[in-house]
C-alpha cells in the first residue's frame, strides 16, 4: 500500500473510519464528537458515514457514560469513548478502575471489556492546573488496563486500530501538540500490536526512551547530539502498559546509558519505572547512573511567565545526555537548537483558546 | 454588592417597590460586566491573555441581580464561566484581569487563569474548570455555615450542562437531607459547548422540576428580565436564609459569543444566526434600560455618566493588568503544601 503524508489528527480520523467500516459494532461517542470542530478533526465524517446511532454526543456525565460503554462492551460492542482533556475523564475513575480494569480477572477470565478511551493531553496557552495533566502513570499503575501513547501519525493510526480490536480496556493518550504533526501513513488497513516499542533512530552511546510528545524532543536532541559526537538511540515506547522491556534492554545492552523522557510529573512516573528496571536488571551493564527527565512535581500553572521553563525539552535532553556521556561541549550543542518565539504554543499558527 | 444587611431583605420587598438608586445599581452592575467582557473580547486577539477564556456576554442579568442580594459574609463558588459571578460578588476587577493576563498581581498570582478566580475578601471562594467540580464544594461551605449557626448562605453557580454530572444529585440530595443554606443558581443557556440541550437531556423535562423532585425548593424564571430574576432570587434567598430548605433556581438566558474565546460563532453550524438574533432582541441590558427609561429612573445623561465612570474604571484595570509584571518563572516551584498546624487554639479553647 502507498504512503501519504497525514497529520496525526487525520491519521486518527482514518483509523476511526476503517474500524467503523470493518466492524458495525464499533461505536464512537463523547462530548463533541459530532460538533463543528469534531474533536480537532479526529471524528470528522463519522456520523455522516455511520449514523447517529453509532456516533453520538453525550451528556456531561463522564462516570456514567463510561460505565454505559463498559456495559455495551460486555455484550461484545467495541465502544471508542473520547474526551477533549484527560482531566475531564477523572470523574470516571470508579468505572475505569473498579469495573473495566477488573472484570476479566475478577470474574475468572470469562469476559473482557473491549473498550477504548481516547484522552487528550493539554499543554500550553495557559491550559493550567486542570487542563494539562499527563496521568499515564496512574493508568499504567492499574493492573488490567493497557495504556497507549503514540507519537507519530502512522502509529496513531496503527495503534488506534490495535486498541479498538484489542479485547481489553485501552486508555489511548493523544498529546495536543502532536495532532498537527505530519508524517507518512500507509493507506488502508494497518496491522500493529500493543506492547511493542520502536527504535526510531539507532545509536551506540546512549538510549533515549521517550513517550508521546517527548519523542519529538528526543529526535531534535539526538540530531544535535550527533554534532558533538554522541550517537543517541531513540526508542519510541508507544505503549506504557505493557512496556516493551525487550527492546529497551537490548538497546541499553548496546549503549550502557539510559535516559528516560516523560511528559508526566517526575515522582512515580513511567520514566521512574524505566530507570528502576534498568538498575535492577542491567546494573552491571550501565556505564553511568540511569537518569530521567520529566515534568516537575507541581501542578502546571497558567501564566505565560510561570511556564517559561516548566516543560523540559530538547535543551534539557542535550544537557543531560552530554553529562552522561562526559562530553563538555554542551554550549556548542545547545546553540544549534532553535528556540521558538513563544514557549507556550506548538507553532506560531496557534492563537488559542483551547 | 448590597450594603444593607441581609436581614432587611424581606420576601415582601418586590422589585417594583425598590428605590431608583437600587435599580440603577443593578443596571450599573450589568453594564460593568458587559463592558469588561467586551473589552476582553476586543483585546484577546492581541495574544496577551493566553488562557482558555469563557465570556458571559448576554448573561449579565442573573449575576448582577444576585450580587445586590448577597452580603459579604455570604459565599459563592462558580464554574469555568465565572467572570460575571466574581465581579457581581464584589471581586476585585484588577486582580481578575491581571489573572487572565497571567500576572503576579492576579487573584491567583498567575497560577489559575480565567477559569480559576478567587477573592476571599468578599466570599468568592473559587471557580474551577471541571464541570460540576464546585457543586459539592458549595454544599460543604453551606454545611460549615449551618454548623456555625450564622445566617449566611452559599451560592453555587452552575450551567445546564453541570446538571448532567452525578455529583449534582449526590450534593443536592445531601443538601436537602440536612436543610443546608445553599442556593443553586443554574443559568440555562441551552448549550454545553456546541451541544444543544436536546442531545443531552430529554426534551420537555425541566431542570427546575428535577431539582424539585430531589426535594430542593425550586423555581424558574426569565434570566434576561431583571424584575423576574429579582423576584425568583429574593424568594430563594429568603427560604435559604431562614433555614427552611436548600434551594434551586433555573434562569433562562443565552450566551452571545463562542463557548470559549472572544468571537461570535453562529456561522459554524451548531446554532442558527436567527436564534442568536432572537435572543439578542432580548438583550437583558436593553430590556432593562427601556424599563428604567419608562419609569423615568434613567435618562440619557445618567446613562452617559455611568458609562463614562465604568470606562475609566475598566481602562485603568486593563492598564494595571497589562503593566503588571509576570511572576518570576521560579515561582512555579513554590510549595504545594501549606505549612504549620491547622488548629485555631483560641477557638478550641473557647469550645
Ligand atoms: C468534567 C468535564 N467535562 C467536560 C468539560 C468540558 N467543558 C468545559 S465547559 C463545558 C460546558 C458546560 O456547559 P454548562 O454547564 O451548560 O456551562 P456553560 O458553558 O453553558 O456556561 C464543558 C462540557 C469539563 N470542563 N469538565
Ligand atoms: Mg450551558
Q: Is the domain of A330 the same as that of A202?
A: yes
Atom of ligand 1 nearest to the CA of B255: 20
Q: Is the domain of A253 the same as that of A106?
A: no
Q: Is the domain of A229 the same as that of A169?
A: no
Q: Is the domain of A54 the same as that of A168?
A: yes
With respect to residue A51, please indicate whether it lies within any of the assigned structural domains. Answer: yes
Expressed in angstroms and rounded, the spacing between residue A177 Cα and the centre of ligand 2 is 28
d(CA A304, CA A314): 20
Angle, in degrees to the nearest 10, between helices B226-241 and B20-43:
110
Q: Is the domain of A110 the same as that of A255?
A: no
d(CA B37, CA B88): 13
> Which residues in chain B have Cβ-Cβ distances shorter than 8 Å to A298?
332-333, 336
Residue B136 contacts A where some CB pair is shorter than 8 Å = no
For chain A, give percent helix, strand, coil, nearest 5.
Answer: 35, 20, 45
Residue B80 contacts A where some CB pair is shorter than 8 Å = no
Atom of ligand 1 nearest to the CA of B158: 15
CA B217 remoteness from chain centre: 20
The parent domain of residue A66 ranges over 3-186
pLDDT tens by residue, chain A, 354 residues: 588 999 999 999 999 999 999 999 999 999 999 999 999 999 999 999 999 999 999 999 999 999 999 999 999 999 999 999 999 999 999 999 999 999 999 999 999 999 999 999 999 999 999 999 999 999 999 999 999 999 999 999 999 999 999 999 999 999 999 999 999 999 999 999 999 999 999 999 999 999 999 999 999 999 999 999 999 999 999 999 999 999 999 999 999 999 999 999 999 999 999 999 999 999 999 999 999 999 999 999 999 999 999 999 999 999 999 999 999 999 999 999 988 999 999 988 888 788
Residue B6 is predicted with a pLDDT of 40
Cβ burial, residue A253 (10 Å; 0-12/13-18/19+): exposed
> Minimal CA–CA distance to B39: which of B102, B83, B86?
B83
d(CA A306, CA B102): 8
With respect to residue A72, please indicate whether it lies within any of the assigned structural domains. Answer: yes
Residue A41 contacts B where some CB pair is shorter than 8 Å = no
Among chain A residues, CA nearest to B269: A36
**Inter-residue contact B115 to B52 (CB < 8 Å):** yes
Expressed in angstroms and rounded, the spacing between residue B254 Cα and the centre of ligand 2 is 8
Residue B121 contacts A where some CB pair is shorter than 8 Å = no
Residue B349 is predicted with a pLDDT of 55
With respect to residue A347, please indicate whether it lies within any of the assigned structural domains. Answer: no
Q: What is the pLDDT of residues B216-261, one digit of tens each?
A: 999 999 999 999 999 999 999 999 999 999 999 999 999 999 999 9
Q: Is the domain of A261 the same as that of A203?
A: yes
> Minimal CA–CA distance to A238: which of A230, A247, A229?
A247
**Inter-residue contact A333 to A227 (CB < 8 Å):** yes
Residue A59 contacts B where some CB pair is shorter than 8 Å = yes
Q: Is the domain of A56 the same as that of A174?
A: yes
Torsions phi, psi for B86 (to 5 deg): -60, -50
Q: Is the domain of A164 the same as that of A203?
A: no
> Which residues in chain B have Cβ-Cβ distances shorter than 8 Å to A59?
161, 164, 200-201
Q: From the CB of A31, is ligand 1 less than 6 Å away?
A: yes
With respect to residue A340, please indicate whether it lies within any of the assigned structural domains. Answer: no
What is the tally of structural domains in chain A?
A: 2
Range list of β-strands (E), chain B: 75-78, 124-127, 154-159, 182-188, 191-192, 195-196, 217-222, 247-252
Residue A3 is predicted with a pLDDT of 84
Q: Is the domain of A240 the same as that of A153?
A: no
Q: In the numeric block, which cell numbers belong to residue A197?
A: 516499542
ipTM of the complex: 0.96
Spatial neighbors of A36 by CB under 8 A, at least 6 apart, are B194, B268, B269, B270
With respect to residue A269, please indicate whether it lies within any of the assigned structural domains. Answer: yes
Residue B13 is predicted with a pLDDT of 74
Say how many Å lie between the first and final Cα of chain A, rounded.
36
Domain CATH for A87: 3.40.50.970
Query: What string of H, E and C letters represents the secondary structure of B237-298?
Result: HHHHHCCCCCEEEEEECCCCCCCCCCCCCCCCCCCCHHHHHHHHHCCHHHHHHHHHHHCCCC
Grouping H, G, I as helix, E, B as strand and the rest as coil, residue A231 is coil
d(CA B200, CA A282): 54
Q: Domains, chain B, ranges and CATH? A: 5-350 (3.40.50.970)
Say how many Å lie between the first and final Cα of chain B, rounded.
33
Chain position carrying cell 521553563: A309
Q: Is the domain of A222 the same as that of A322?
A: yes
DSSP designation for A265: E
pLDDT tens by residue, chain B, 351 residues: 333 334 434 455 789 999 999 999 999 999 999 999 999 999 999 999 999 999 999 999 999 999 999 999 999 999 999 999 999 999 999 999 999 999 999 999 999 999 999 999 999 999 999 999 999 999 999 999 999 998 999 999 999 999 999 999 999 999 999 999 999 999 999 999 999 999 999 999 999 999 999 999 999 999 999 999 999 999 999 999 999 999 999 999 999 999 999 999 999 999 999 999 999 999 999 999 999 999 999 999 999 999 999 999 999 999 999 999 999 999 999 999 999 887 766 565 554
With respect to residue A314, please indicate whether it lies within any of the assigned structural domains. Answer: yes
CA A48 remoteness from chain centre: 28
Q: Which candidate in A267, A301, A311 is best for mutational testing of the B interface (most B CBs within 10 A)? A: A301
Last residue of a domain, one of A154, A186, A218: A186
What amino acid positions of A are annotated as catalytic residues? Answer: 62, 131
Residue B5 is predicted with a pLDDT of 39
**Inter-residue contact A175 to A86 (CB < 8 Å):** no
> Minimal CA–CA distance to A225: which of A293, A340, A343, A315?
A315
Q: Is the domain of A140 the same as that of A207?
A: no
**Inter-residue contact A116 to A73 (CB < 8 Å):** no
Domain CATH for A301: 3.40.50.920
d(CA A62, CA A64): 6
> Which residues in chain B have Cβ-Cβ distances shorter than 8 Å to A91?
130, 132, 165-167
| CB-based contact A125 B51, cutoff 8 Å | yes
> Which residues in chain B have Cβ-Cβ distances shorter than 8 Å to A306?
102, 110-111, 326-327, 329, 331-332
Residue B221 is predicted with a pLDDT of 98
With respect to residue A346, please indicate whether it lies within any of the assigned structural domains. Answer: no
With respect to residue A80, please indicate whether it lies within any of the assigned structural domains. Answer: yes
Last residue of a domain, one of A166, A186, A206: A186
Q: Is the domain of A215 the same as that of A298?
A: yes
Amino acid at each position: 500500500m502507498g504512503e501519504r503524508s497525514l497529520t496525526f489528527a487525520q491519521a486518527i480520523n482514518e483509523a476511526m473510519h476503517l474500524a467503523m467500516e470493518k466492524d458495525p459494532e464499533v461505536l464512537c461517542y463523547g462530548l463533541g464528537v459530532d460538533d463543528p470542530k469534531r474533536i480537532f478533526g479526529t471524528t470528522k465524517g463519522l456520523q455522516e458515514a455511520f449514523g447517529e446511532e453509532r456516533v453520538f454526543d453525550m451528556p456531561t456525565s463522564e462516570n456514567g457514560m463510561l460505565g454505559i460503554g463498559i456495559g455495551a462492551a460486555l455484550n461484545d460492542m467495541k465502544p471508542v469513548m473520547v474526551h477533549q482533556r484527560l482531566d475531564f475523564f477523572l470523574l470516571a475513575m470508579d468505572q475505569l478502575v473498579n469495573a473495566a480494569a477488573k472484570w476479566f480477572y475478577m470474574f475468572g477470565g470469562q469476559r473482557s471489556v473491549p473498550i477504548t478511551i481516547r484522552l487528550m493531553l493539554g499543554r500550553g496557552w495557559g491550559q493550567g492546573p486542570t487542563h494539562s495533566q499527563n496521568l499515564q502513570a496512574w493508568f499504567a499503575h492499574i493492573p488490567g488496563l493497557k495504556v497507549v501513547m503514540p507519537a507519530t501519525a502512522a502509529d496513531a493510526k496503527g495503534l488506534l486500530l490495535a486498541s479498538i480490536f484489542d479485547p481489553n480496556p485501552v486508555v489511548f493518550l493523544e498529546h495536543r501538540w502532536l495532532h498537527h504533526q505530519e508524517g507518512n501513513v500507509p493507506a488502508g488497513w494497518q496491522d500493529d500490536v500493543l506492547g511493542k516499542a520502536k527504535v526510531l533512530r539507532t545509536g551506540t552511546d546512549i538510549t533515549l526512551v521517550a513517550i508521546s510528545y517527548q519523542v519529538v524532543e528526543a529526535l531534535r536532541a539526538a540530531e544535535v547530539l550527533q554534532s558533538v559526537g554522541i550517537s543517541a538511540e531513540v526508542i519510541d515506547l508507544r505503549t506504557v502498559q505493557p512496556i516493551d522491556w525487550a527492546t529497551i534492554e537490548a538497546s541499553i545492552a548496546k549503549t550502557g546509558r539510559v535516559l528516560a523522557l516523560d511528559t508526566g510529573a517526575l515522582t512515580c512516573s513511567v520514566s521512574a519505572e524505566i530507570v528502576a528496571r534498568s538498575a535492577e536488571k542491567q546494573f552491571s551493564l550501565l556505564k553511568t547512573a540511569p537518569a530521567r527527565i520529566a515534568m516537575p512535581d507541581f501542578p502546571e500553572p497558567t501564566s505565560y511567565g510561570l511556564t517559561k521553563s516548566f516543560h523540559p525539552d530538547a535543551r534539557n535532553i542535550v544537557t543531560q545526555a552530554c553529562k552522561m556521556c562526559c562530553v563538555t561541549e554542551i554550549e556548542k550543542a545547545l546553540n544549534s537548537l532553535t528556540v521558538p518565539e513563544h514557549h507556550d504554543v506548538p507553532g506560531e499558527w496557534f492563537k488559542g483558546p483551547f | 454588592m448590597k450594603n444593607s444587611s441581609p436581614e432587611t431583605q424581606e420576601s415582601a420587598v418586590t422589585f417594583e417597590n425598590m428605590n431608583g438608586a437600587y435599580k440603577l445599581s443593578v443596571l450599573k452592575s450589568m453594564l460593568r460586566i458587559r463592558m469588561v467582557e467586551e473589552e476582553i473580547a476586543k483585546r484577546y486577539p492581541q495574544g496577551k491573555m493566553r488562557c482558555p477564556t469563557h465570556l458571559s456576554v448576554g448573561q449579565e442579568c442573573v449575576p448582577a441581580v444576585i450580587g445586590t442580594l448577597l452580603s459579604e459574609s455570604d459565599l459563592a463558588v462558580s464554574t469555568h464561566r465565572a467572570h460575571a459571578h466574581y465581579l457581581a460578588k464584589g471581586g476585585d476587577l484588577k486582580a481578575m484581569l491581571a489573572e487572565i493576563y497571567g500576572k503576579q498581581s492576579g487573584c491567583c498570582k498567575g497560577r489559575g487563569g480565567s477559569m480559576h478566580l478567587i477573592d476571599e475578601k468578599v466570599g468568592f471562594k473559587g471557580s474551577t474548570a471541571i464541570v460540576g467540580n464546585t457543586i459539592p464544594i458549595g454544599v460543604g461551605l453551606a454545611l460549615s455555615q449551618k454548623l456555625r449557626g450564622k445566617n449566611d448562605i452559599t451560592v453555587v453557580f452552575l450551567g445546564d450542562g453541570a446538571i448532567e454530572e452525578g455529583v449534582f444529585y449526590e450534593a443536592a440530595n445531601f443538601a436537602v437531607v440536612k436543610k443546608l443554606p445553599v442556593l443553586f443558581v443554574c443559568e440555562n443557556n441551552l448549550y454545553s459547548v456546541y451541544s444543544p440541550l436536546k442531545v443531552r437531556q430529554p426534551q420537555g423535562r425541566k431542570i427546575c422540576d428535577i431539582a424539585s423532585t430531589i426535594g430542593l425548593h425550586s423555581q424558574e424564571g426569565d434570566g434576561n428580565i431583571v424584575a423576574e430574576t429579582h423576584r425568583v432570587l429574593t424568594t430563594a434567598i429568603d427560604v435559604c436564609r431562614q433555614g427552611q430548605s436548600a434551594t434551586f433556581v433555573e434562569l433562562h438566558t443565552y450566551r452571545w459569543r463562542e463557548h470559549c474565546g472572544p468571537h461570535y460563532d453562529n456561522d459554524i453550524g451548531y446554532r442558527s444566526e436567527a436564534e442568536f438574533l432572537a435572543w439578542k432582541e432580548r438583550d437583558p441590558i436593553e430590556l432593562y434600560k427601556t424599563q428604567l427609561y419608562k419609569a423615568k429612573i434613567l435618562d440619557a445623561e445618567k446613562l452617559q455618566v455611568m458609562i463614562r465612570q465604568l470606562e475609566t474604571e475598566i481602562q485603568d484595570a486593563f492598564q494595571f493588568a497589562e503593566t503588571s509584571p509576570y511572576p518570576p518563572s521560579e515561582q512555579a516551584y513554590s510549595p504545594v503544601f501549606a505549612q504549620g498546624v491547622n488548629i485555631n487554639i483560641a477557638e478550641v479553647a473557647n469550645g
